[in-house]
Chain A
C-alpha cells in the first residue's frame, strides 16, 4: 500500500502533548462523561489513557475472536459516548438499520448474486433512510433559512423554525460507510453479509469513527478474521504517523490559525493584499495539516492494533492537475464519490457533455457533503468547473508542444493548480459567499495592515509545501532505522517529542476542522 510522507522524519508519540502526565494514568474515569463534554480528541490525555487500556486489552483478547470484537465495540462506544452518550443511540440505529437492510438486500439477490428489482428497491430505501437522517441533522436549518430568506425577498414574511440542530460528530463518515456497505451487497460484491457484531465493530471502530478515513467493509471486515501476530506490530510506522499527525495538528495548524488565518478571515477589510494572500496560503496548509494530521493519527492508532486503514492523503499540494489533486486529497472520500455517485450517474459513459455534467455534479454534491452553506456549493463548483475545463483543454491540446522547457511547464501547472485550490479554499473557510468575495477583493486593495505576516510565517508555509516534495523513501528509511534503536532511546525520543510538541503548540487544542463535517 503506498504511503505518503510530507514531513521530516521524526520519532513518534501517542498521547496528548498538551496535558501529558503520569497522573492521568491514574485518573481515568468514565463517570466524567456527560452531554456537552468535549469529544475525546486524539491528542488528549483522556485518549492516551483510553488507548493504553484498549491496546493492552486488544492484544490480550485477539486470539479470542468474539471476545475481542465485543471489547473493541465497547471501547468504541466509550470513545463516542465520551462526547455525548445520547448520540450513541443514533450510532446504534445506523448499525441496526443498515445491517438489517444489508441482510435483506442480500436475500433478494439471485443465487448467482445478480440484482433483482426487490434488491434495487431495498438499496434505494437504505440510501434514502441514511441520507434522510444525515439531511435532517446537517441541512434542515440551512434549508429552512434559505426558504425563509427567499420568501422575505419577495415580500412574504415567514417565521419558520430554526432548530439549531447539533450535528452529531462523525455522522457524515459513518453514514457514508453504511451506504457503501449496503450498495456493495446490492451490487453482488459481498457473497456473505457481515454478522451484526462484525458490522457494529466495522461501523463504530473508534479510530475512524469521527473523521475518517472512510473505510469500506471490504477493507475492514477481512481483517477481523485475521489473527495478527503480536510479536510483529508495526511500531515504527505507527509511531511516525502518530507523531507526524500531532505535530501537524497541534503545532502547524494551530500556529497558522492563530497567527494569520483567523484574524484575516474574521475581518478582511482591515488587512492589505500581502496579509490576505498569506492568510489564504496559510489556510491551505492549515486545513491540510489539520485533516491529514487527524487521519495520520487514526491510521497509526489502528495500525498499533493490527488494523490497516487505507491511505487518505498523498502529498496533495504537489499535484500538477486538479484531477491528480483529487487522487491525493481525502482519497477515501474521492473514491467513495467516484464509486457511489459518479459511476451511478453515468461516469465516463455516454457523451462528453454528460461526463462533464457528472463531474460537475459530483463536485457540487461533494461540496454540500462538507456542510450546509452556499460557500461549500461554490467551493464544489470551482473544483467541478476546473476539472471540466482541464479535460476540455487536455483533449484539445493533446500532442501540442508549447516549446517551453518541461520543468517550466510543470512549474506553471503546479502554480496554477495550487492557486485554484487556494481560491476554492477561500470559499470553504469563509462564513458566507459575500465574506469570501471580500477576502478576495482585499487582494487588490491599495492599503491595509500587514499584521501577522512574519518571516516565521512564510518559512512555515514554504516548508510545509516543500515537505510534500520529499520522496517517501526517506521517511520510510528513517522508520526502519528508528525501529532498530534501543528501546530506551525510543522512549527518550518519544518523550522528548511529546514535550516539544506541547511546548510549540498553543494552550489547549482546538477541535479538528473535519469534526464539523
Chain B
C-alpha cells in the first residue's frame, strides 16, 4: 500500500467507506473499540440473516413471545430473498434435518384406507403372539430418543442372551414427537420399522419433548399449555394407531420416561406419562410400561442410586441425571422383559434376571399413572 493512501486505521472519526478499505492498525492486532462494536453487530446481523431458518427452528422449539415473532419475520424475509440458500445447502450437504412436514394424521389416513373391518375387530383385544423359541426367535425392535441409547443397548444385549429374541436397536438422539421437522418418528416407523415386521416394539419418547411445538397451522404452542397438551396427545394417539398391525400380531411396549434428576433442564415427564398411559388404555396393542418406580425412591422422587435385587446400591443414572447408566439400562431391560413375559410365553428362553441386574421384586409399576393427575381415574 502506498504511503499516501489513507487506510481505515488512520481515519477518525468513523465513516462507512472505511469499512471497505484495508485496515492498518496503529498497534499490531488491535482495533478501536467503536469499530469492533460495528464489526460484531454487523457480523451478527449477517449471520442472523444467513442462519434465519435454523434460528426459527430452534426458536419454535423453545422461543418465547417476541423472540419467536422476530425469528419468523426474519426467516420469511430471508426466504423471500433466498438468502437462506447458503445455510440450507450446507445442511443438505451434511444430511441434517431428516425431518419432514408429513403429519401423523396423513400417515394414519393412508393406513386406514388399507385396513379391513376384520382387522379393526381383531384389534379390540390384546394381541396373542406365538411363543418364541430358540428355533423360531421373536423379532423385537427397541427405539426412541437418547435415553434409549443406553437402555436399548442393554436391552439388545440382554434379549439376545435369552436366546429367543432377535433384537434391533434404533435410537435417534435429540428426537421425540415434538419436532417432526427435525426427525419424523411416525414416518420413520411406518416407512422403516414396521416393514421389517417386528412382533414387539419397545419405544420410549418424552425426554426431548418438553419444548414448544408448531401445529398444523404453523402456530407455536407453548410447552405444557393446554393447546400443547391437546396437540401432543393427538400425535401420541395417532402414533399409537399407526403401530396397530392388520392381523393384530404386534405389541408395542410404550415406556414412559423415568424421573429426571436435580439440575437437569428436563421436567414434566409425568405429565407426558399421563398422556401415554391414558391413550394406551383404549388401545390393546399398546402396553404402557411405567418406568417411574424403577428409578425413584419410596416417595416416588428421583433417585440416582438404588438397590438391585441383590440389595447392593448402584448408580442408575449417568452424571447428567437424565440418561441411564449401564446398570440402569440393565435394570429397565429386565423389568420390560418381565412385562413382556406377562403377555407372551417366554418359557423357552432364559428370562430370569440375575439379582445383580434385576430390580427387587418389591418394585412394581404404579397402578395409576401418575397418581393425582387431572382427569386420572
Please give the residue numbers on chain A whose beta carbons come within 8 Å of chain B beta carbons, in ascending order: 13-15, 17-27, 32, 36, 38, 48, 52, 55-56, 59, 145, 148-149, 152, 162, 164-167, 230-237, 258, 262-263, 266-270, 304, 431-432, 435, 438, 479-480, 483-488, 490-492, 494-496, 498-500, 502-504, 506-508, 516
Contact = CB atoms under 8 A, between A and B. Distances in A.
Chain A, interface SS category: helix
Interface stretch (B40-48, B111-119, B234-242): B40-48
Interface in B1-56: 8, 18-52, 54-55
Given A22-B44, A432-B315, 20 more contacts: A17-B51, A21-B71, A22-B45, A23-B70, A52-B37, A166-B263, A230-B32, A232-B25, A266-B326, A270-B156, A431-B317, A484-B25, A486-B22, A486-B23, A487-B8, A487-B18, A487-B38, A494-B39, A503-B87, A504-B94
Given A21-B55, A23-B71, A485-B22, A499 B87 contact: yes
Nearest to B261: A164
Specify the main secondary structure of chain B where it touches its partner: helix
A483 B318 contact: no
B128 interface: no
Interface in B265-295: 265, 267
Contacts of A27: 65-67, 70
Interface of B: 8, 18-52, 54-55, 58-59, 64-67, 70-71, 73-74, 86-87, 90-91, 94, 96, 146, 149-150, 153-154, 156-157, 173-174, 182, 261-263, 265, 267, 302-305, 311, 313-315, 317-319, 323-326, 329
A435 B51 contact: no
13 contacts: A15-B44, A26-B66, A55-B40, A149-B313, A164-B261, A234-B30, A235-B30, A270-B156, A270-B157, A435-B326, A483-B30, A490-B39, A498-B47
Contact of B51 (A152, A269, A480, A502): A502
Given A230-B32, A232-B27, A486-B8, A266 B48 contact: no
A236 B29 contact: yes
A22 B48 CA distance: 5
A24 B67 contact: yes
A435 B329 CA distance: 13
**Among A237, A487, A488, which residue has the most Cβ atoms of chain B within 10 A?**
A487
A485 B67 CA distance: 34
A510 B311 CA distance: 35
Given A21-B70, A269-B157, A32 B64 contact: yes
Given A145-B305, A484-B23, A494 B29 contact: no
B31 A23 contact: no
A44 to B, nearest CB: 10
Contact of B31 (A38, A235, A438, A516): A235
B37 A55 contact: yes
